[in-house]
Amino acid sequence: MNKQAKPTYRYSVFGLTVQSDILLEELTVSREATIDVKIRYKPVTAPPAELLKEGTYHLTATSFFLDVPDIARYRVEAGQVIEVDPYEGAEIEAIKLFLLGSCMGVILHQRNILPMHGSVIVVAGEGILLTGHSGAGKSTTAHRFLAAGYQFVTDDVAATRIEEGQAIVAPAYGHQKLWADVLERAPELERKRVNREVDGRTKYTVSRDRQFLNQSIPLRLIVELVPSEEPGVRIETIQGLEKVRTLMVHMYRNVYFTALHKQKEQFEKATELARAVRLIRLYRPVGKATEQEVMDTILKEVTKGGKV
């Protein structure tokens, strides 16, 4: 039998050029000659069981192992290589979910690129990062902005660099994660795959290519969304150590800093970002459809500006 070379693909994501054995239709095709990250199908051996945290992952300063039962084993090395070893029968969409999420998040950490957790909406050529804990309303608020005609550069992970005192966010890809109840109000959006299920709610990945801006932009404002029992929308400006602490909380996969005992580096990264970007906390009432009011309030803050 004649041996045939495996097809490889080349993409751009998070400001990096990625060469992949896996077809990743979500990503933008790249023709860059220099390769930053290689994604390869390769057998991955698990570390000894006693080294695994929560029975699923192991982390060192330069290496990350992740075992997702029935999906795949992954190894991420030195910010340059991701090895993928699928379980028999695993669906490719499920394999890509962890590849483009946790594994790429680790790549950013290893390359000293700060990954913030949230969606970045483009307003007047600058980025607004919507962050918050699960259920805070990040995806719902981002959807409201997109429905109003705004663009976005990333939905879940904001690859952030500081250049000459300015925070810059690199583009990810033109897909968004939305809860099923939001999609019921937007039947025109095609559901690409189930992203996850939490407390009886299902989140889907949907294509938003037409509103994806494939370029790096300056980050102007970070909005932490907080569900509240208050009757209406309220905002407060966050500064000082509370600002730094809040940014540390919303770094993507911030547990990795703790596992590596790198809280000092985490604090330094958050402090650098805090100097460059405004942060407001927006309280939104639980159980009320306030997406329009939330968007209008954020846009007023953008127009008003204020101290970093």
- Quick one: average pLDDT of 19-32? 93
For the chain, give the DSSP string.
Answer: ----PPP-EEEEETTEEEEESS--TTSEE---SS-SEEEEE---PPPPGGG-BTTTEEE-SSEEEEEETTTEEEEEETTTEEEEEEPTT--HHHHHHHIIIIIHHHHHHHTT-EEEESEEEEETTEEEEEE-STTSSHHHHHHHHHHTT-EEEESSEEEEEEETTEEEEE---SEEEEEHHHHTT-TTSPEEEEEEEETTEEEEEEE-GGGB--S-EEEEEEEEEEEESSSS-EEEE--HHHHHHHHHHTBTTTHHHHHTT-HHHHHHHHHHHHHHSEEEEEEEETTS--HHHHHHHHHHHHHH----
Confidence tier at 3 by pLDDT (50, 70, 90): very low
More confident: 117 or 180 = 117
Per cent of the chain over pLDDT 70 is: 90
Tell me what pLDDT residue 235 has: 94
Question: What does the mean pLDDT of the chain come to?
Answer: 88
- Quick one: average pLDDT of 36-44? 96
Tell me what pLDDT residue 2 has: 37
User: Considering the entire predicted model, what is its pTM?
Assistant: 0.89
Tell me what pLDDT residue 208 has: 83
Confidence tier at 4 by pLDDT (50, 70, 90): very low
More confident: 149 or 307 = 149
Tell me what pLDDT residue 204 has: 77
- pLDDT tens-digit series, residues 57-112: 899 888 999 999 999 999 999 999 999 999 999 989 889 989 998 999 999 999 98
